[in-house]
Amino acid sequence: MRIKEIIVVEGKDDTAKIKQVLDADTIETNGSAIDKTILEQIKHAVEKRGVIIFTDPDFPGQRIRHIISEAVPGCKHAFLTKQEAISKHDRGIGVEHASAAAIKQALARVYQLEEGSPCLIEKQDLLHYGLIGGSQAKQRRQKLTDRLRLGHANGKQLLKRLIMFRITRKQLEEAMLAIIEEEEE
C-alpha cells in the first residue's frame, strides 16, 4: 500500500513502524518541541504532496496535532484509539505499538479539517445523547470518538471536532444508536 501524502509522526520508532506496514514518507516532529524548521517542512509537504498528521492518542500527541493544525492549514488527520495504540509488553502508548491492521485502517479513514463548515450538529444534540452534562458523558464521548476515529475529546472539544470533521447529524445518530445498543446488552 502506497500513501501519496507525507505522514507526520512523533519520532523514529513511529517512522520505523509506518515503513514496516506500508510504503510512505514521514516527517518526524521529535516530540512536542516542534521548531520552525519542522513546521516549514510540513508547510512545504502540504503544498507538494499533502500531509497526514498521525500522532499518538495521548496528551503530547494531541498537543503536537494542535500545534501543527494551527500553524499549517490543509493537513489531513488520522487517528488511532488508545486501545489500538497500547503496547502489550511495556505499557507504552503510541503509533509504534499499533498493529499493521490498525495503522492501515486509520490511514484509510483520514479526515480533512474544514473550518467554517456549516454547523450540522448542535450542543443540544450532545445533551440529547448524554455526551455532555451527564454521569456517563465521559464514557460515551470516548466510545463515540473511538467509533468515529476522532481522537480523544473532552466536553468542550467534542462539538468543535464533530463540526471540523464534518460529521453529519445522521452519522452522529447512527454511531450513538450503536453505542446505546451496546450499553443495553
Same domain, 99 and 44: yes
What is the model's pTM?
0.71
The neighbour count for residue 94, using CB atoms within 10 Å, is 22
Q: Cβ distance 142 to 152 under 8 Å?
A: yes
Q: How many domains does the chain have?
A: 2
Q: Is 117 contained in some domain?
A: no
Domain residue limits at 70: 6-112
Same domain, 12 and 83: yes
Q: Is 157 contained in some domain?
A: yes
| CA atoms of 58 and 184, how far apart (whole Å) | 29
pLDDT in tens, the chain (185 residues): 789 999 999 999 999 999 999 999 999 999 888 899 999 999 999 999 999 999 998 889 988 998 998 899 889 999 998 888 888 776 788 999 999 999 999 999 888 765 554 556 888 899 999 999 888 899 999 999 999 888 888 988 898 888 877 788 888 999 999 999 998 88
| CA atoms of 114 and 133, how far apart (whole Å) | 27
Task: Please state, in angstroms and as integers, the Cα–Cα distance from residue 132 to each residue in 53, 144, 156, 167, 172, following that order.
Answer: 27, 12, 9, 17, 14
